[in-house]
Amino acid sequence: MINATPDLTDQIEACEDLHPAPGGRETPIAGVLLTDAELDHTLGLFRLREAASVRVLSTAAVWRGLTHGLRIHDVLAPYTDLSWRELRDSESLQLEDGMRVRVVPVSGKRPRYAADQPEGRWAVALRIDGDHGSLVYAPAIADWPPELDQELADADCVFVDGTFWDDQEPRTAGLSCRTATQMGHLPIWGPAGTSERLAQVPARHRFYTHLNNTNPLTHPEAPQHALLAAKRIEAVPEGKSVEL
């Protein structure tokens, strides 16, 4: 799985392929890949405590944040066999079933609970390759480096940070005095927007993900959907299944 949201167990229950089997505490989930250490991507790890083992794959900075900030090892160790494997820059890591994963650093933004932690690879995009295709997953982008373009150039499916529609959305929604880019998220539309760049990506499937509840794309009838459709981009709906 990629990231572990607070509603992880609800997601597992909604997907038959992830149901425990054959025993009640046996799970087909081989591990959790983390793109960052934000709470909305990590709190679900605690809900896996009843599994026989929990394997986390992340950058060293993310694991340091989890162990020192959230004390995940201290909390989960009495319940399950918790292990960690580091995702390093420019390293292709072999996963189960012949899949491979490598990371692209896209942000050094720390979670608030880790504000006293040192700088590091706090947010990355994941490139996953398998026998039937390739996927790039980048739900939190503060920067669009050339390395990300390289990974997107031949990917079959792409998921990109769609937290905010435009740069002023956090301010106009009354969420913050900061803009989207100041909060560590490149917006979809406008001068700082990523939609033009994403439209140039040759992938067969191009999606925006990680939408904030203030984003107009959360409403199915919002006119912004048509703007993206003209670029052959979609705001990924919940439960979307893509076959590569």
* pLDDT tens, position by position, 19-45: 877 776 677 888 999 999 999 999 999
Q: CB 96: neighbour CB atoms within 10 A?
A: 7
**Of the CATH numbers 3.40.50.620, 3.60.15.10, 2.60.120.10, 3.90.1150.10, which one belongs to the domain with range 1-130?**
3.60.15.10
Average of per-residue pLDDT values in the chain? 93
User: Is the predicted pLDDT of residue 18 greater than 90, yes or no?
Assistant: no
- Segments in the chain forming alpha helices (H): 8-14, 39-42, 60-64, 72-76, 146-152, 169-172, 195-199, 224-229
User: Is the predicted pLDDT of residue 12 greater than 90, yes or no?
Assistant: no
Q: CB 12: neighbour CB atoms within 10 A?
A: 20
Domain-wise residue ranges, the chain? 1-130, 156-236
Whether 59 contacts 124, CB under 8 Å: yes
Report the alpha-carbon distance of residue 157 to residue 214 in Å, rounded. 26
Report the alpha-carbon distance of residue 33 to residue 104 in Å, rounded. 13
Q: Which residues pair with 128 in a beta bridge?
A: 101, 135
**What is the band of 17 on the pLDDT scale with cuts at 50, 70, 90?**
confident
Give this prediction's pTM. Answer: 0.93
Q: Bigger pLDDT: 151 or 19?
A: 151
**What is the band of 205 on the pLDDT scale with cuts at 50, 70, 90?**
very high
Report the alpha-carbon distance of residue 141 to residue 144 in Å, rounded. 7
As a whole number of Å, the end-to-end CA separation of the chain is 17
Q: What secondary structure does DSSP assign to 178-189, as a single string?
A: S-TGGGT---SS
What confidence tens digit (pLDDT) does each residue in 92-149 have?
Answer: 999 877 899 999 999 999 999 999 999 999 999 999 999 999 999 999 999 999 999 9
R_g (Cα) of the chain, nearest Å: 18
